[in-house]
Amino acid sequence: MHVLITGAASGIGKELTFCFAKEKDAVLSLVDINEQGLRDIINGMKVTAKTYKLDLADIDAIPDMIQKVEKENGPIDVLINCAGIMFIQTMAKTPWEKGLRLLNIDLLAPLRIVNLVLPAMVKRRKGHIVNISSMAGVTTIPGCCYYGAAKAGIANASEILRGEVKRYGIGVTTVYLGPIKTPLEAQCRTEVKGNIYSDHIPAGSPQRTAELIYKAVKKNRALVIYTWEYYLVRHIRRIADWFVMRFAPDPKT
């Protein structure tokens, strides 16, 4: 089973690597901008694992990367679009170049990779795609105009895709996450003026997140929502939007 994971050097992507490494026949293609982080992960692994350094903001470089991955490791059976960046900053204070970089990495890059990988999956009539979204794509969080747009976009595309490719035996899982205790989450906490709401909002673990995604791939589940509290948020969006806009901490910039 050939598994391609983007954002594999840390956080959720790193834990997903460990989950899929349990498969005896696993072949792992790990993509990240952090080359040393990738090397550290595969050190001592008993399965075939190769690393690929790429800044996913460079959309035009993605086709060559996919071509290289498939030439070296064969057709991709499982694609996990895990790479992502986030910042919390008002739109008025966000330089366009900064917002565009986020949109490229969080929205356009995963769509481009799906675009490149999907035809072969359709031809073989097998495969699974995981797209990681966020509750920021469901609720209106101050300071997340770009991030919310990207995550709402990838979530909607992912759910549409599941319906399109079901007839070909291909599974698609869309992942809706609240805060997860990763370096990215820690960084974002420094970008807001904390309050009681933000200090006590439920946060999950990257290990548990990876386990849920791994099980979803094995059982072809349509959705992963974590932590459990966010099941409610997804179904009472208007109330959730009011609550978040009223009580969420303001961005520092």
CB 166, CB 215: distance < 8 Å: no
- Helix or strand run (H / E) with residue 186: helix 183-189
Q: How far apart are CA 237 and CA 177, in angstroms?
A: 15
Q: How far apart are CA 97 and CA 89, in angstroms?
A: 13
CB 83, CB 107: distance < 8 Å: no
Select which of 14, 52, 146, 151 is catalytic: 151
Closest by CA to 151, choosing from 134, 139, 166, is: 134
Q: How far apart are CA 101 and CA 40, in angstroms?
A: 26
3-state class of 93 per DSSP? helix
Contacts 24+ apart (CB under 8 A), 64-72: 65/31, 66/113, 66/116, 66/117, 69/4, 69/29, 69/31, 70/120, 72/29
Catalytic annotation present for 147: yes
Closest by CA to 2, choosing from 28, 24, 41, is: 28
Select which of 146, 147, 176, 214 is catalytic: 147
Q: Which residues are catalytic?
A: 147, 151
